[in-house]
Amino acid sequence: MDTGTDYCLFDAHIGASIGIKVNNGPEGDLGGIIEGARCKVYFHNIKLIVGADMLEIKAGFSWDITSNLLGQTGFFDNFAVSFHPAFEPPCFDIERIQRH
């Protein structure tokens, strides 16, 4: 999980495989996680299912990334994640943040 990215980012092939017309979304620039200076990212509103929770979030899709990243907006602003590296294998807990 990458806590440094603003939005959740997914390989565009995933979006295309579930029927999203990736290149039709609002376009942005993406840097830092790719080789080279910048690449294109296309944003779409999607439903993200985490366990029993379904969230409507804005996520980016790019043809130039090979890893999927969970971002501050859409994931980490909705879930508290605790990492437990002392266990073998290392594990983590995810808890939904309840807002009032």
Residue range(s) defining the domain that contains residue 71:
8-96
Total domain count, the chain: 1
Alpha carbons 98 and 16: distance in angstroms, whole number = 32
Is residue 1 scored above 80 in pLDDT? no
Domain-located, residue 2: no
Within a domain: 39? yes
What are 29-84's pLDDT values in tens digits? 887 665 666 789 999 999 999 999 999 999 999 998 888 999 999 999 999 999 88
Residue 92 lies in a domain: yes
pLDDT of residue 12: 97
CA atoms of 73 and 39, how far apart (whole Å): 20
- The answer as to whether 3 is a domain residue is no
Beta bridge partners of 27: 42
d(CA 78, CA 95): 9
Per-residue CA distances from 73 to 9, 55, 67 (Å): 11, 11, 18
Q: What is the largest CA-CA distance in the chain?
A: 44
83 within a domain of the structure (yes/no): yes
In a domain, 54, yes or no: yes
User: Is residue 31 within 8 Å of residue 39, measured between CB atoms?
Assistant: yes
- Asked if residue 51 is part of any domain, the answer here is yes
